[in-house]
Structure 1
Amino acid sequence: MCKEIYTMAFLRAIMAEFLATMIFVFFGLGSALKWPSALPSILQISLAFGLAIGTLIQMFGHVSGAHINPAVTIAFLVGNHISFLRSVFYVVAQLVGAITGAGILYLVTPINTRGNLAVNALNNNTTPGQALVVEIILTFQLAMCIFASTDKRRTDVIGSPALSIGLSVTLGHLVGIYFTGCSMNPARSFAPAVVVTRFSTAHWVFWFGPIIGAVLASLLYNYFLFPYSLNVSERVAIVKGTYEPEEEWEEQKEQRTKSMELTSP
């Protein structure tokens, strides 16, 4: 059903998502550790997460799209940008990569500094309901930025998508840390909780909030603000992983014609 999973490009994309999420979690959580010599500031943590995302998008964006976030991957699936199987493989790679990154950080960090490995938690008397709304808003703005800055149909000057998305992550952390430690990414929240085996009763917030926010942004951008002109059969083909854009089909047709001309007697 899904031709793409049998290609080398697909394998490279899965590996890219694994590596990108591993590196992101290592640097992001590492910036939030409470070192006795110097406690991190909110600005420092926010910049670290934002710079990590921007750098990794520049590194892996052309390989896998550099989602680095299950909520973003689900949003791309809802927006008819990727196939169902690709989204499943991406999410698994992201979660395994995140746990690997958190595990490495745990092993190389001195015992007196590890703490709870920057596990997301409700802060400043924030209720689960308030935290859910905050995470929805934070991830909504991130997903909207991703769709808008990577939209190939745009003809205006959009600058660097990596920089724009990195700044969006930074913006979310500058506010979100006060409420929830700022997740915007289920993999980022899940990984340290697994490594230190500390799941709070509000852990669900860090899954539902980002996913709902990203999906809402996808629906708004891809189906209302700037919809794609695809028919039902094309949308189904994208979900199945069998869709070939017309321009790609024409290129393949041209290559086949040239090949036949070269091999003909």
Structure 2
Amino acid sequence: MAAFKGIWTKDFWRAVSGEYLATLIFVLLGLGSTINWAAGEEKPPPADLVLISLCFGLSIATMVQCFGHISGGHINPAVTAAMVVTRKLSLAKAVFYVAAQCLGAVTGAGILYLVTPAALRGSLGVTTVKSDISLGHGFLVELLITFELVFTVFATCDPKRTDLGGSAGLAIGFAVAIGHLFGIPFTGASMNPARSFGPAMVMLNFQDHWVYWVGPILGGILAAGLYEYLYCPDPDMKKTLKRVFKKDPSGKYREVEAADEVAVKTGSIHTVDLEKAEKKDPFHESPGEVLSSV
């Protein structure tokens, strides 16, 4: 229950509602670019991949800029999962974030469904793996383009870097646009489970839907893990990993520096009072401390 203590605050619910609204706007605008208004013509032109890619990319850049200081601007369950594995967000809070993102996506897709003429709705931007490739290949494409996105998120929002300039939101938007330019012919380029879930729920079309959850989430986790623990590790991480906690009969945890053999042998250890420790939630970050991301 200690993990849930941080969610009963106004700031947290403001952040959750921010994720809902940001995802709603993003999905509404992004899916709107997939509507083919020339569908009623005798020879309708094919979908404009550049238009769709730029719309998704610029939409996410705008939403990150608007909501980054409110919720961290995840707007994507894959990014939220990446934050969890790198200990930037607690699992309890991540559940609420993902629920808000999915609900926002369904709402955005539902609004688009209502305002679009029935003859022009088509598939409403539902993502499916193209018949020319296998589901395995589609899974790999989604993993790779989401890896590119999440790695960009962590690299452009890294507080340890001193060489950053310009707009992180715009860089993230470019990453989304690039992923779409490459991935649309293969899988429709989801890069975001919520983006795929919204129109799939409205149209009740869940064909190949697992690809758009498993692929992006694994790609995001892999990118976050490689960036945080291999390429740009936190200098204090080694100290954290060396800590060993043991519980004595009195109910108190004893913290031992495993690298300090002398301290272990002599019994020079730290005692942590559980009641005091529970008052400080290690994952109780303010919205501004969450990595600004998609």
TM-score, normalised with respect to structure 1: 0.86
Tell me the percent identity: 49
- Equivalence map 1:192-207=2 (5 Å): 192-200=199-207, 202-207=208-213
Structure 1 distance, partners of 2:9, 2:182, is 41
Structure 1 distance, partners of 2:78, 2:48, is 27
Q: Which runs of 5+ in 2 are unaligned?
A: 40-44, 244-278, 287-294
- 8 Å contact kept, 1:4–1:241: no
More strand by share: 2
Structure 2 distance, partners of 1:110, 1:39, is 19
The counterpart of 1:36, out of the listed 25, 31, 38, is 38
- 8 Å contact kept, 2:88–2:283: no
Compared CA separation, residues 241 and 131, structure 1 to 2 (3 A): farther
- 8 Å contact kept, 2:28–2:108: yes
TM-score, normalised with respect to structure 2: 0.78
Superposition CA RMSD, Å: 2.0
Match of 2:110 in 1: 103
Structure 2 distance, partners of 1:49, 1:244, is 31
Q: Match of 1:123, SS?
A: coil
User: Cα offset for 1:124?
Assistant: 5.3
Q: Which runs of 5+ in 1 are unaligned?
A: 234-239, 249-265
Deviations 1:155-205 (A, max 9, x none): 1133211000000000000010010011100011111111011111x2111
Structure 2 distance, partners of 1:13, 1:70, is 15
The counterpart of 1:227, out of the listed 196, 215, 233, is 233
Structure 2 distance, partners of 1:108, 1:179, is 28
Structure 1 moving runs of 4+ over 3 Å: 37-40
The counterpart of 2:11, out of the listed 9, 12, 18, is 9
Structure 2 distance, partners of 1:214, 1:49, is 18
Match of 1:242 in 2: 281
Compared CA separation, residues 174 and 3, structure 1 to 2 (3 A): same
Deviations 1:138-171 (A, max 9, x none): 0000000000111111111332110000000000
Match of 1:261 in 2: none
- 122-131 vs 91-100, which moves further: 122-131
More helix by share: 1
User: Cα offset for 1:3?
Assistant: 3.2
- Equivalence map 1:50-69=2 (5 Å): 50-69=57-76
Structure 2 distance, partners of 1:18, 1:139, is 21
Structure 1 distance, partners of 2:122, 2:231, is 44
Pick the structure with greater CA Rg.
2
- Equivalence map 1:174-185=2 (5 Å): 174-185=181-192
User: Cα offset for 1:222?
Assistant: 1.0
